[in-house]
């Protein structure tokens, strides 16, 4: 490859990365480990596991993460520049509120970035 081609490729990569730094990224998610009182199945709250230990990964709106990132629409490969921005809400509290009819007991929570 010619040195001028390598230089142009490097400049292009730097410009692409620079635009990613300025854009809003929707990479964060929250993995919640919980139980549902009454011995109900984990799926009642959207999770998976057994009745003693359920797990779900949610976005800020408290709903199960669909895909790799928590954007309102598609995001680029790095989880940034998501069309229509990121999902919003109060993470754990949104999850509990979304499942108000079920007695959710949170055992653990872990941030994913």
- 51: CATH: 3.30.70.2800
Residue 2 within any structural domain of the chain: no
**The two structure tokens encoding residue 32:** 């919640």
Residue 93 within any structural domain of the chain: yes
Chain mean pLDDT for the chain: 86
Residues facing residue 25 across a β-bridge: 80
**The two structure tokens encoding residue 89:** 């809400």
Which pLDDT does position 22 carry in this prediction?
Answer: 45
* Lowest pLDDT segment from 11-15, 36-40, 82-86, 101-105: 11-15
Each residue of 32-60: pLDDT tens digit? 999 998 888 999 999 999 988 999 999 99
* Lowest pLDDT segment from 6-15, 41-50, 88-97: 6-15
Q: What is the extent of the structural domain holding 66?
A: 24-112
Q: How many domains does the chain have?
A: 1
Each residue of 68-81: pLDDT tens digit? 999 999 999 999 99
Residue 17 within any structural domain of the chain: no
Cβ burial, residue 18 (10 Å; 0-12/13-18/19+) = exposed
91 contacts 58 by C-beta, under 8 angstroms? yes
Total Cβ atoms within 10 A of residue 105 = 10
Q: What is the mean pLDDT of residues 14-29?
A: 66
Which pLDDT does position 4 carry in this prediction?
Answer: 55
Which pLDDT does position 45 carry in this prediction?
Answer: 95
């Amino acid at each position: 490859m010619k040195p001028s081609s390598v230089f142009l490729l490097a400049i292009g990569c730097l410009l692409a990365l620079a635009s990613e730094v300025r854009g809003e990224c929707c990479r964060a998610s929250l993995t919640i480990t919980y139980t549902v009182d009454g011995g109900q199945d984990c799926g009642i709250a959207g999770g998976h596991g057994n009745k003693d230990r359920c797990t779900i990964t949610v976005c800020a709106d408290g709903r199960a993460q669909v895909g790799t990132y928590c954007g309102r629409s598609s995001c680029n490969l790095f989880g940034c520049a998501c069309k229509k921005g990121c999902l919003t809400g109060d993470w754990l509290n949104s999850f509990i509120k979304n499942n108000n009819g079920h007695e959710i007991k949170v055992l653990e929570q872990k941030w994913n970035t």
